[in-house]
Amino acid sequence: MGEFSIQELTSILAMQGFAGISLFSVLLLMALGLAIIFGQMGVINMAHGEFMAMGAYTTYLLSVVTQTYFPEFMNYYFLVAIVASFLVAGLFGYITEFVLIRHLYKRPLDTLLATWGLSLIMQQSFRSIFGAREVSPTLPDWLMGSWMPTDTIFIPINGMFVLGLTIVVTLGVYILMFRSTWGLNVRATTQNRVMSGAVGINTKQVDRLTFALGCGIAGIAGAAFTTIASTGPTSGSLYIVDTFMVVVFGGAASLFGTIASAFTIAQAQSILEFFISGSMAKVFTLLALVIILMMRPEGLFSIKVRK
Amino acid sequence: MNFVYERFLGGKSGAIAIGILALLILVVLPLALDLFRLNLVGKYLTYAFAAVSLVLLWGYGGILSLGQGIFFGLGGYAMAMFLKLEASDPESTSIQTTPGIPDFMDWNQLTELPWFWVPFESFTFTLLAILLVPSIFAFIIGYSMFKRRVGGVYFAIITQVIAVILTVLIVGQQGFTGGINGITDLKTLNGWDIREDSSKYILYFINAFLLLGVIMVSKFILTSKFGQLLLAMKDKEDRVRFSGYDVSNFKIFVFCVSAVIAAIGGAMFTLQVGFMSPSFVGIVPSIEMVIFAAVGGRMSLIGVVYGTLLVNAGKTAFSETFPELWLFLMGGLFIAVVMFFPNGLAGIYNKYGPKVKFLRPLFSKSEKAETTTESAKIEADATTEGAK
């Protein structure tokens, strides 16, 4: 590191750290949806990445439509796109639960295979509809550029926006899951399905909405994803393994664990990436996670469950 | 003789089923297909090793590994390393900066053979490595997971992550592994040219006999007391544990056996196809191996061979003519198998076979009762929904 001065090194560290925060935001948004689906319901959704891609493509589609028909609204379409991504992915998740998932609750390993099949079909659909090339929406002007606190540090505005969005969504999920009656129903259903049904909770309805909510949040992750990278048919599958690691490492049923683990993984990866090649950074991060999980299978933060 | 008949072949119906399979892959296919197609079938049959390994591990043991590609790859790479060293003798690599090392190392400015390549100059070591490296690797993974009672979904995810790590490592360390292209241009095995037509025939038959051998050994394992315990563990793990058995040891053992079986397939793959690359190690090939097993019938050692042949033949046929359609079909296959045919081809055969007149002699009475209760049980699991 001889060729860098101390000031440059701090700047690099700050920027690399912020790059880590962008990765953290997308990982966390993906993982929040998965933590609900996998952590709460115990369903392994291998198509989760494709739900994210669905959100990203929705955003892209809206940007094209706005640009062609309502160019004067270009500054605002992105906010609409976030909501639309949530609704589209959520609706599709609702249908998926009804057609596929609800038949497989008793066989988690088979859910894994079925959703993998679903992800193949979705990937190919994206390829048929949008083409094999990566696309990116035209971002509104206010998302471009960067903020310079000092001469040598550049913090991209889109990264800060994604971070803000992540905080809002995380808070929303927290309130919904832990401070609302509906969240209480969801948690009750997970803990004891039969008793929940006995006290009058419509458990099937709860399942369907929970799954839809998880997929919808993946859709929001997709909208956020478009601001930092371009979307291709296989974009979602690139993140699925990392996302599962975030959820498992954080402890499946813990919201705080998910946040902490997304932060650790993203920071470890992007700071390591500066010192060694990207592929080795990934190898070391994942290897460390596997070793930690072998020693502590229940993850960082976990609710004690008697088995 | 009777012992062999009962235990390795699995009684009358088992012997007939193995006989039919042997007839198909040893006589019918070699006579009916030209060398190119036969070589393709040979390639598919190497995947069948992985599918057979999943019958032991997943079908009977209830442990889903999404990392069989790891072991398939380890076996394949071990064989490829030996063949590559033989192909890179100083004479044929004299144009390189450093003659005598594999070409991709030379391109990546390596001037010396890395230490872990050196032992692969010996054929005996290579054969041992094909069997031992995967089982040691599986032992480490299995020991650290099963002793802590990690299982089910978590095991599947972690094996998948290990497959990702291995792929990224192989692709990233180009100088040591040949990177994304893998290890190519393999020529001879102890001076015997594996690229000639006659060698391809010989390799095909070696592969077919090995596969039949592996199926019989697996049958032996499954008909032993161990096989019974495996099934018991899958259904009521705690009850087996409370009966005084150390469940984790059985799991580790079956995981190691399945790793070795997959690795043999990988080594045969390298010999027949003539190269090995990371695209046979990662998530996608690993999950495809699971689908071969699922389509064939996760509880049937013979069924998965047909499943593998069928899915791969379909894949080749479709990706030649309608490449877009293939992924839809493959995805649909995953969903259909899981939702409607949890026992795959073997399940369909066992259910409807006895009703077809000319097949009836194949089902002995006691066995019929056994298979129907078994498949009825899984199907009952499949159809009950809702409550956990």
Give the model confidence (pLDDT) of A66-86 as tens digits.
888 888 888 888 889 999 999
- The DSSP call for residue B276 is B
* Residue B387 confidence (pLDDT) above 50: no
Task: Identify the pLDDT of residue A3.
Answer: 62
- Rg from Cα positions in chain B: 22
- A277 at the B interface (CB within 8 A)? yes
Give the mean pLDDT of chain B. 86
Confidence class of residue B101 from pLDDT cuts 50, 70 and 90? confident
> Distance between alpha carbon B371 and the CA centroid of its chain, in Å?
24
Best probe of the A interface among B338, B377, B383, B384, by most A CBs < 10 A, is B338
Per CB-CB distance under 8 Å, the chain A contacts of B332 are: 117, 121
pLDDT exceeds 90 at position A169: yes
Q: Is B162 on the interface with A (CB under 8 A)?
A: yes
From the list B80, B269, B95, B70, the residue with the least C-alpha distance to B176 is B80
**Residue B372, min C-alpha distance to chain A (Å):** 20
Residue ranges covered by each domain of chain A:
16-240
Q: In the prediction, which pLDDT does A2 show? A: 52
Instruction: Please tell me the predicted confidence (pLDDT) of residue B382.
Output: 47
Q: What is the pLDDT of residues A9-25, one digit of tens each?
A: 787 777 777 777 888 88
Cα separation, A18 vs A133, whole angstroms = 28
Q: What is the mean pLDDT of residues A245-253?
A: 81
Pairing of strands A155-156, B188-189: unpaired
**Burial annotation B9-19 (CB, 10 A radius, 16+ → b, else e):** bbeebbebbbe
Q: What percent of chain A has pLDDT over 70?
A: 95
Residues contacting A266, CB < 8 A, separation 6+: A20, A21, A23, A24, A27
Once rounded to an integer, what is the mean pLDDT over residues A105-125?
88
Instruction: Give the confidence band of B138 by pLDDT, cuts at 50, 70, 90.
Output: very high
Q: According to the per-residue pLDDT averaged within each range, which of A145-154, B95-104, B226-235, B313-322 is highest?
A: B226-235
Highest mean pLDDT among B128-137, B315-324, B333-342: B128-137
The residues facing B189 across adjacent strands are B192
Band the pLDDT of B369: cuts 50, 70, 90. very low
pLDDT at B384: 43
Q: Which of A106, A113, A120 sits opposite B294 (nearest CB)?
A: A113
Element (H, E) at B325: helix B323-340
User: Which chain B residues touch A111 with a CB distance below 8 Å?
Assistant: 338
Classify residue A139 by its DSSP letter.
Answer: P
**What's residue A257's pLDDT?**
86
Does residue A219 have a pLDDT over 60?
Answer: yes
Question: Cβ contact (<8 Å) for B338 and A297?
Answer: no
Domain ranges of chain B: 2-289
Looking at the complex, does the CB of residue A292 fall below 8 Å from at least one CB of chain B? no
Region B167-195: what's the mean pLDDT?
88
d(CA B340, CA B4): 36
Q: Which residues contact A208 (CB under 8 A, 6 or more apart)?
A: A94, A97, A98, A102
pLDDT given for residue A156 in this prediction: 79
Q: Does A187 touch chain B (CB under 8 A)?
A: no
Q: How far is B41 from chain A (nearest CA, A)?
A: 25
Place of tokens 């002995």: B364
Nearest 10 degrees: Cα torsion B343, B349, B353, B356:
130
- Choice among B6-10, B131-135, B221-225, B250-254 with the minimum mean pLDDT: B6-10
B-chain residues within 8 Å CB-CB of A244? Answer: 157, 160-161
Beta strands in B148-304 (DSSP E): 188-189, 192-193
Closest CA to B30 of B237, B250, B203: B203
Question: Shortest Cα distance from B56 to chain A (angstroms)?
Answer: 16
Encoded tokens for A32: 């929040």
3-state helix, strand, coil in chain A (%, to 5): 75, 0, 20
Name every residue whose Cβ is closer than 8 Å to that of residue B260 and which is 6 or more positions away in sequence. B71, B131, B134, B135, B138
Whether residue A143 contacts residue A158, with contact meaning beta carbons closer than 8 Å, is answered with: yes
For the stretch B324-363, pLDDT in tens is 788 888 889 889 888 888 888 888 888 887 777 666 666 6
Q: E-assigned strands of chain A?
A: 146-147, 155-156
A307 — pLDDT class (breaks 50, 70, 90): very low
Confidence at residue B348, expressed as pLDDT on a 0 to 100 scale: 85
Tell me the average pLDDT across B158-183.
90
Question: Could you tell me if B289 and B72 are in contact, meaning their C-beta atoms sit under 8 angstroms apart?
Answer: yes
**% of chain B surpassing 70 pLDDT:** 91
Q: Rounded to whole angstroms, how far apart are CA atoms B25 and B197? A: 18
The question of ipTM being above 0.90 is answered as: no
Average pLDDT value for residue range B161-185: 90
How does residue B290 score in pLDDT terms, banded at 50, 70 and 90? very high
Question: What whole-number distance in Å separates Cα of residue B58 and Cα of residue A113?
Answer: 13
Q: Which residues of A touch B144 (CB under 8 A)?
A: 294-295
Residue A68 buriedness (CB in 10 A; 0-12 / 13-18 / 19+): exposed
Chain B residue numbers with beta carbons less than 8 Å from the beta carbon of A40 are none
Task: Tally helices (H) and strands (E) across chain B.
Answer: 18, 2
Please determine, for residue A240, whether its predicted confidence score (pLDDT) is greater than 70: yes
In terms of C-beta density within 10 A (0-12 exposed, 13-18 middle, 19 or more buried), how is residue A149 classed? exposed
Alpha carbon distance B97, A181 (integer Å): 72
Name the one residue in this structure whose structure tokens are 């031992």. B132
Question: How distant is the Cα of B318 from the closest Cα of chain A, in angstroms?
Answer: 14
Task: Judge residue A230's burial from the number of C-beta atoms within 10 Å of its C-beta, 0-12 exposed, 13-18 middle, 19 or more buried.
Answer: middle
**Residue position matching structure tokens 């692969």:** B120
pLDDT of residue B78 exceeding 90: yes
Tokens of B260: 């070795």
For the cut 50, the answer to whether the pLDDT of residue A1 exceeds it is no
Q: Which of residues 106-145 of B touch A (CB under 8 A)?
A: 144-145
Closest Cβ–Cβ partner in B150, B331, B387 for A117: B331
Does the pLDDT at position B365 exceed 90?
no
Q: Is B189 in a helix, a strand, or coil?
A: strand
Confidence of residue B388 (pLDDT cuts 50, 70, 90): very low
At B383, which amino acid appears? T
Of A176-180, A185-189, B365-369, the one with minimum mean pLDDT is: B365-369
Task: Give the minimum alpha-carbon distance from B161 to chain A in angstroms, rounded to a whole number.
Answer: 7
8 Å CB contact of B330 and A117 = yes
The Cα A222–Cα B221 span in angstroms is 48
Of A123, A194, A248, the CB nearest to B157: A248
> What's the whole-model pTM score?
0.87
Residue A155 zone, left/alpha/beta (φ > 0; ψ -120 to 50; rest): beta
pLDDT given at position B370 = 46
d(CA B177, CA B170): 6
Any B CB within 8 A of A194 CB: yes
Statement: residue B205 has pLDDT above 90: yes
Q: Is the dihedral of CA A11, A17, A20, A21 positive or negative?
A: negative
Residue B372 has pLDDT above 90, yes or no: no
